[in-house]
Chain A
Amino acid sequence: KNQVEQSPQSLIILEGKNCTLQCNYTVSPFSNLRWYKQDTGRGPVSLTIMTFSENTKSNGRYTATLDADTKQSSLHITASQLSDSASYICVVSAGSSASKIIFGSGTRLSIRP
C-alpha cells in the first residue's frame, strides 16, 4: 500500500534555531517527492521537488534531502523565523496520474520568540 509517514507530528522550537523534519514513504513506483508548506487557513505551497536522481535541493533556508534507497527524505530549516510556523507536508508521486500523488499528514511546526 502506498503510504507517506511524517515525523514528528508536531514540533516547537525557538526562533533562530534549526530543525529537521522527517518523511518515510512506501510509494512504488517512485516518481518524485515534494515538500509543501501550509500556513493555517491556506492551501499548500511547494517548497522543493526532487526526482530519483537528486539527493538534495535547497530553497533559501529550506534544504530537502532524499535517500531513494532507504525511501527517506528530510527537510532542514535553518535559522528559523516566526513566519516558518506552519504545517510541512511531504508528498510523493507514484507516476503521472493525479490519483497516484500521496500526501503525508504533515508536521506542525511552531516557532516561539
Chain B
Amino acid sequence: NAGVMQNPRHLVRRRGQEARLRCSPMKGHSHVYWYRQLPEEGLKFMVYLQKENIIDESGMPKERFSAEFPKEGPSILRIQQVVRGDSAAYFCASSSTQGDYNEQFFGPGTRLTVL
C-alpha cells in the first residue's frame, strides 16, 4: 500500500510561468490537504478537498492559486504566473475521514523554485 505520492519532487519555474503540483492520496483516502512550508517556518494550511469538492480554501491566496481533486486522478495544486515569493515546499496530506483525531499522512513534498 503505497503512501501519499507527490510529483514532481523538484520543480523550477521562471517568473510568470505556471506550476502544477500533483498529489495522489493513499489508497482508500478521499480527503486531501495542501500545505506550504517556507524556509525556517512551520507548515501553513492552504486548502482541504474531498473528491470533486473544495471544502475549505481559507488558507489559499485568492489570486493565482487554485486546487482540484477530480473524480479520477490526482489532486492538482496550480499556481499561475509564479513569483519568487512562491518558492517553497508544498506538502500534500491525505486522510480516510475528516475530524480531530483522524491522522493525516503526508507526502514527500514538492520543492518549487522560482527563478
Contacts and interface: CB of A to CB of B under 8 A. Distances in A.
Interface of A: 4, 31-32, 41-46, 49, 51, 89, 93, 95-99, 101-106
A101 B45 contact: yes
A44 B42 CA distance: 11
A51 B99 CA distance: 13
A72 B39 CA distance: 25
Nearest to A3: B42
Interface in B36-59: 40-45, 48, 55-56, 58-59
A110 B87 CA distance: 26
B101 to A, nearest CB: 7
B33 interface: yes
Contacts of A89: 42-43
B99 A99 contact: no
B98 A99 contact: no
B64 to A, nearest CB: 20
A43 B42 contact: no
B58 A99 contact: yes
A98 B48 contact: yes
A52 B114 CA distance: 42
Given A98-B45, A103-B42, A105-B41, A31 B100 contact: yes
Contacts of A101: 45
B56 A4 contact: no
Contacts of B56: 97-99
A43 to B, nearest CB: 3
B42 A105 contact: yes
B105 to A, nearest CB: 8
A98 B55 contact: yes
A4 B100 contact: no
Contacts of B105: 43
B42 A106 contact: yes
A96 B102 CA distance: 10
Contact of A49 (B40, B41, B103, B108): B103
